[in-house]
């Protein structure tokens, strides 16, 4: 039995009930549905807490397990809820929300630097994208100003779904060279920024995002590192 990924349809659900359906050989707790995002696509797994009648434990991180399951990793060795137990799962919402802000800001970074992306990562304070970029941008301040201008526009961030065949017919939707969307499930999630004539970005993504750009807050660009002949690493920081 796979885990229903509640975070995929609503990133703002931070607490809900679930049932324990398995314990992995490594001691991960598998629920029938999860608000916890598992590590993937450069975004860290969520942390938080599980509670049930007679017990509670802290969740250090969340990982993908076999057969579409999601495993919550306890922070300390302790008694686990048995299979069949009804539990309450509660996110560390402050940490998750910062991941959402950084992740959405990185989508904007790929808009103001319209080059192929070769990698990326996210933390609660900052994120980075690696670009197939022969030369370092001449005017970093102009890029930062454009990022904050887009954030101030407060465009909506929404999702859409297409089929595997539709993605194959529109390969330009994929910006990342290192990570390709999973093909074979029959449907692929797209993240759209803006609507209609105001749309500025549309790309496959399985992560969590804010609902409107204004929620990101101010950002600043950090250092730009040389990571190879044509690879440049660009850091983005939340300013608060």
Mind listing the pLDDT tens digit for each residue in 125-149? 999 999 999 888 889 999 999 999 9
Closest CA to 227 of 161, 141, 136: 136
- Tens-digit pLDDT profile for residues 21-78: 999 999 999 999 999 999 998 999 999 999 999 999 999 999 999 999 999 999 999 9
114 pLDDT higher than 60: yes
The CATH number covering residue 77 comes to 2.40.30.130
Q: Which of 3-12, 105-114, 162-171, 193-202 has the lowest mean pLDDT?
A: 162-171
Assign residue 205 the CATH number of its domain. 3.30.980.10
Do residue 85 and residue 113 come from a single domain? no
User: Is pLDDT above 80 for 173?
Assistant: no
Give how many domains the chain has, as a whole number.
2
Per residue in 19-32, is it b (16+ CB within 10 Å) or e — as a string? Answer: ebbbeeeeebbbbb
Q: Does pLDDT of 188 surpass 90?
A: no
Do residue 156 and residue 72 come from a single domain? no
The alpha carbons of the chain give a radius of gyration, in whole angstroms, of 19
Same domain, 114 and 72: no
């Amino acid at each position: 039995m796979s885990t229903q990924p509640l975070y995929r349809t609503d990133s703002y659900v931070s607490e809900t009930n679930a049932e324990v359906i398995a314990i992995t050989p490594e001691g991960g707790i598998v629920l029938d549905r999860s608000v916890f995002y598992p590590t993937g696509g450069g975004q860290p797994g969520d942390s938080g807490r599980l509670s049930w009648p007679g017990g509670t434990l802290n969740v250090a991180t969340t990982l993908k397990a076999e057969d579409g399951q999601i495993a919550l990793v306890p922070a300390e060795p302790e008694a686990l809820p048995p299979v069949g137990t009804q539990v309450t799962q509660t996110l560390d919402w402050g940490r998750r929300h910062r991941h959402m802000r950084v992740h959405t800001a990185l989508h904007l970074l790929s808009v103001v630097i319209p080059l192929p992306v070769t990698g990326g990562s996210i933390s609660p304070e900052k994120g980075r994208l690696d670009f197939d970029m022969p030369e370092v941008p001449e005017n970093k301040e102009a890029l930062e100003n454009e990022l904050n201008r887009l954030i101030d526009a407060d465009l909506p961030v929404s999702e859409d779904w297409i089929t595997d065949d539709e993605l194959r017919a529109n390969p330009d939707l994929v910006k990342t060279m290192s990570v390709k969307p999973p093909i074979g499930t029959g449907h692929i999630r797209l993240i759209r920024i803006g609507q209609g004539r105001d749309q500025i970005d549309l790309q496959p993504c399985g992560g969590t995002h804010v609902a409107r750009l204004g929620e990101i807050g101010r950002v600043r660009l950090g250092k730009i590192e040389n990571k190879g002949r044509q690879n440049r690493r660009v850091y983005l920081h939340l300013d608060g």
